[in-house]
Structure 1
Amino acid sequence: MKKIVFYLFLIISLPSCISNKRITYLQNLSDSTAYKLDEFIPFADVDYKYVLQPFDIVQIDFASSDPELVEGFSFQRSQQMGGIGFGGGVGGGGGGSDPLYMNGFSIDEEGYVEVPKLGKIKIGGLTEDQAKDLVQEKINIFFKEEVYVRLRMAGIRYTTLGEFNSVGVKIIYKNRATIFDALATAGETSLLAKREKLFLIRQYGDGVKIHQINLNDRALLASPFYFIQPNDILYLEPMKIRQVGTADNLTSSLALFGGIFASVLLIVNLVTGGI
């Protein structure tokens, strides 16, 4: 009877075990792409640069030695933009924390942005630098004096779905952010996440592609997907253990299995005691 109890316990507990290999980041999983500690890992050479797309929000500022020259080219803002992301920090996308939504310039569905006095300018399909140069050309028509233009995205917006501790639209107030910046902003992954199978849905102008990323593999550091881009969607699948009961985390799952095992043990004791 003791053997029966032991095998029952083994069968019940096996599904609840998660090996460290499945939850440890940046392992050397491939001999061909093995990177030792302190070894220099170059960034991937990525040809594609993010281009501005419909419904993106950009910040456009004008500067001149004569403030009156540029006063009419900007909306009157009720508050300064200095409250956002000082020092290039990482921030979440909480409600009411993004004044650029109210004060920035939104690109319409045809790729145009409307700037006071300059009218509609088509910057959709352009990189930030190209869009900045185009707006500079437009404003140079009005002034012989030097008026400088600054144009940039209103942070890096991305979406997390699935086994993240915080899901939804997130914002990172940096010009460049890694996949680990994105994970940290989302409160990390849950223990039940398939970290070897992170799906990244990325927009490419006229369409999207789905890429699969292995967070456990150190080769990710040299991957073209090490840096996230605006409008990326990150989706993490749950492990199969999620299918057992309705447990929301590993602790609940273990408690569930413990309860089942205690019930089985009680039944076995009753049966053996009655024989």
Structure 2
Amino acid sequence: MKKICFALLISTVLMACAPHRNLVYFSNLNDVSSSQIQNVPELKLQKNDQLSLSLTSLNAEYNVLFASANNSTSNNTISSRSGFRINNNGMITLPLLGDLKVEGLTVEEAQNLITRELKKQIKNPVVDLELVNFKITVIGEVNHPASLTVPGDQVNLLEALGMAGDMTVYGKRENVLVIRETNGVRKMTRLNLNDKNVYDSPYFHLKQNDIVYVEPDKSKEKEYNPNVRALPIITTCISAIAVLLTALLR
């Protein structure tokens, strides 16, 4: 009988023990480590991207065409900032210039294209182009899941997690899913943030409309499983009974 009680006690202890999890980012990083910084992949403009265009021109006629209620003019110089959406054909439509294909270009390449075309029409155009709807979504085991608008056109996975309040203790750092759509094709990959080599992944630097999903570990699943919620109570009762029987049978 004593052996049975002892076995019950050992089983209870083993059931209560949770598996070890590595909660440290880049846990295989040495105290001193260096690596060649990878070039950040250039962001390419996509359909439905929203662009902000700032134009300074000395051409009064073109200024009239380009002007709107929000524009300000002074001494034949106009600074205009308007929203332009890339349509389903990859085009933006500009006054005087008409449709320009910008899908697949970087922001700098699109800016240079617009400047070259404007030079055919007006004197000394100065163009500043920005992407204003660089959005990513971070969901799952983070403290503040949300869709996030990123200033500029560069953000990496760690920065995105930081903007979402970092992972909870239940988040699988070794299994972070990044979902990306490119030219109508959805691609998914899993990244291990316990591994310093994650920096080399082309998915470490995020692109517009990427989705980051942090998967919960099994302990979180068990915590919210109604069939498992009673387990601590059951194991406690078994332990108490085992201890009581051991004391009575001495």
TM-score, normalised with respect to structure 1: 0.71
Aligned to 1:120: 99
Q: What amino acid sits opposite 1:26 in the alignment? A: F
Change in 2 beyond 3 A, CA 1:196/1:265: same
User: Does the alignment pair 1:56 with 2:49?
Assistant: yes
Change in 2 beyond 3 A, CA 1:270/1:179: same
Change in 2 beyond 3 A, CA 1:214/1:24: same
User: Does the alignment pair 1:238 with 2:216?
Assistant: yes
Cα deviation for residue 133 of structure 1 reads 1.8
CA deviations 1:167-191 (Å, max 9, x no partner) are 2311221342221101101111121
Aligned to 1:141: 120
Q: Given that residues 55 and 106 in structure 1 are in contact (C-alpha distance below 8 angstroms), is that contact kept between their aligned partners in structure 2?
A: yes
What value does the CA root-mean-square deviation take over the aligned residues?
Answer: 3.3
Q: Given that residues 54 and 108 in structure 1 are in contact (C-alpha distance below 8 angstroms), is that contact kept between their aligned partners in structure 2?
A: yes
Q: For the pair shown, which has the larger CA radius of gyration, 1 or 2?
A: 2
Aligned to 2:25: 25
**For residues 13 and 71 of structure 1, what CA distance do their matches in structure 2 show?**
75
Aligned to 1:10: 13
Q: Given that residues 62 and 70 in structure 1 are in contact (C-alpha distance below 8 angstroms), is that contact kept between their aligned partners in structure 2?
A: no
**For residues 220 and 61 of structure 2, what CA distance do their matches in structure 1 show?**
62
Q: What amino acid sits opposite 1:157 in the alignment? A: K
Q: Given that residues 144 and 164 in structure 2 are in contact (C-alpha distance below 8 angstroms), is that contact kept between their aligned partners in structure 1?
A: yes
**For residues 67 and 36 of structure 1, what CA distance do their matches in structure 2 show?**
62
**1:1-275 → structure 2 map (5 Å cutoff):** 3-14=6-17, 16-19=18-21, 22-28=22-28, 36-45=30-39, 49-64=42-57, 70=63, 72-73=65-66, 75-77=68-70, 104-143=83-122, 145-154=123-132, 156-246=134-224, 258-266=232-240, 268=242
TM-score, normalised with respect to structure 2: 0.77
Cα deviation for residue 161 of structure 1 reads 2.6
**For residues 57 and 239 of structure 1, what CA distance do their matches in structure 2 show?**
37
Cα deviation for residue 124 of structure 1 reads 1.5
**For residues 270 and 6 of structure 1, what CA distance do their matches in structure 2 show?**
11
Q: Secondary structure at the match of 2:214?
A: strand
Q: What amino acid sits opposite 2:208 in the alignment? A: P
CA deviations 1:58-85 (Å, max 9, x no partner) are 211112468996464365449xxxxxxx
Q: What amino acid sits opposite 2:10 in the alignment? A: Y
Structure 2 spans left out of the alignment, 5+ residues: 72-81
**For residues 228 and 172 of structure 1, what CA distance do their matches in structure 2 show?**
11
Cα deviation for residue 245 of structure 1 reads 4.0
Change in 2 beyond 3 A, CA 1:67/1:158: farther
Cα deviation for residue 213 of structure 1 reads 1.0
Q: Percent identity?
A: 24
Change in 2 beyond 3 A, CA 1:110/1:218: same
Q: Secondary structure at the match of 2:155?
A: coil
Q: How many residues align?
A: 235
Aligned to 1:83: none
